[in-house]
Amino acid sequence: FTMRQQEIVESFEEMLSPSSKAAAEAMSSKPTPPYLLAQTSKVAELLKRCWEDEVFVDTLADRFARLAMQLLSRYATWVTDSLRDRSTSPSSSSTPSDTSTSSAAANALWTTPDGLVKVLADVERMRSSAKDESAAGILGEAVRAMAPLGDAAAVAIRSALHDIADDRMEKIAVRIRELLVTPLATKCCGMLKQLRGITATYRMTNKPAPERASHYVPSVLAPLRTFVTETAIPAKLTEAAKATLVAEVAGQVTDSFTDTASELLSHVKKTESSLQLLKSRKDSKSGGGAGGGGAGGGGVTDTEKICQQLVLDATEFGRQLSSLGISLD
């Protein structure tokens, strides 16, 4: 067992070491489907090997179980540490060109949307496999190997793998989604600055009441739409993972839209109250009684026009969300 453990662990550690030849080769090697990274393919291969008949020994089942947990935990630690150190510059100057190239590729893996999506896709698939009891899943292989030892052994390995999948792997997936969602949401929310211009459009301009949404609305979700439909990046994700990513970006943008519109309405109402108060004082002094608030004798007031425009904009924004598969229920 000690020899098998050393062989398995050392081969995996070498691949994870940034400066190793194995790591450099991993960055340019083709991973085994369904994984997108050679490192993930490697840990899946080694986990499967732990339970192969020519390797697994019943009397040492507890040790093989610990080895499997060690491999999966080490993979999670590698991803976590790499995400934490993602801003670190790749090694420079004196390194050979091939090492520099692999180092730059490794840096890109953790700093670009394409790289982060690959990591997210692999983490999600590894997490799913760790809970998959079919013959193709990591858990399925483990349960099959443990079966001769009784139900208690199968329950123990199932519980251990579920803990890693639902705790560490899920936290990693959440962190990667944050790194992808934040810049996308920021780009989308930048377009909402134009929403504040609605007040200037209608306040004391005698412009007619609006009939259609503002021109900026279709542009709000354009960065997300481009990411989803015009790049090859999301194709690397499962449909569920892609839907979660889109929903999180849309949620942040919707919150920003709601907050901005609410602030605008609050400001408009305060302005309207102030104008009405000033007009009332003016009318009381002059003895006049004409209508106010920009309505021009009882028509639609400026405030009503602004509110109508917000309704039209919100309705169009909802249609844009629906076109991206977001439920409005």
pLDDT on residue 300? 87
pLDDT on residue 96? 43
pLDDT on residue 103? 63
Share of the chain above pLDDT 70, in %: 86
123 and 80 Cβ atoms separated by less than 8 Å: no
**Short-list 111, 91, 110, CA closest to 101:** 91
In this structure, what token pair is assigned to residue 7? 């062989």
Mapping DSSP to helix (H, G, I), strand (E, B) and coil, where does residue 36 land? coil
Q: pLDDT (tens digit, 9 = 90+) per residue, 211-267?
A: 999 999 999 999 999 998 887 888 888 888 899 999 999 999 999 999 999 999 999
User: Higher confidence at residue 197 or residue 295?
Assistant: 197
**Burial class, 217, CB count within 10 angstroms (exposed 0-12 / middle 13-18 / buried 19+):** buried
**Short-list 291, 189, 310, 181, CA closest to 234:** 181
User: Higher confidence at residue 196 or residue 106?
Assistant: 196
pLDDT on residue 126? 95
**In whole numbers, what is the pLDDT of the chain averaged over residues?**
86
In this structure, what token pair is assigned to residue 11? 């081969």
5: confidence class by pLDDT, cuts 50, 70, 90: confident
40: confidence class by pLDDT, cuts 50, 70, 90: very high
Q: pLDDT (tens digit, 9 = 90+) per residue, 86-143?
A: 865 444 333 444 445 556 667 788 999 999 999 999 999 999 999 999 988 999 999 9
pLDDT on residue 270? 87
pLDDT on residue 290? 44
Q: How far apart are CA 294 and CA 307, in angstroms?
A: 14
Taking each helix axis from N to C end, the angle separating 239-286 and 113-129, rounded to the nearest 10 degrees, works out to 120
Cα dist. 301→255, 271, 296, 304 in Å? 28, 12, 8, 5
Examine the pLDDT at 321 and tell me if it is beyond 80.
yes
Instruction: Quote helix, strand, coil % in the chain, to nearest 5.
Output: 75, 0, 25
**Short-list 131, 185, 191, 176, CA closest to 158:** 131
**Short-list 185, 270, 271, CA closest to 222:** 185
Kindly write down the DSSP assignment for every residue of 68-97, as one continuous string. HHHHHHHHHHHHHHHHHTTTSPPP-TTS-H
Q: pLDDT (tens digit, 9 = 90+) per residue, 7-31?
A: 888 888 888 876 666 666 666 677 8
**Burial class, 67, CB count within 10 angstroms (exposed 0-12 / middle 13-18 / buried 19+):** buried
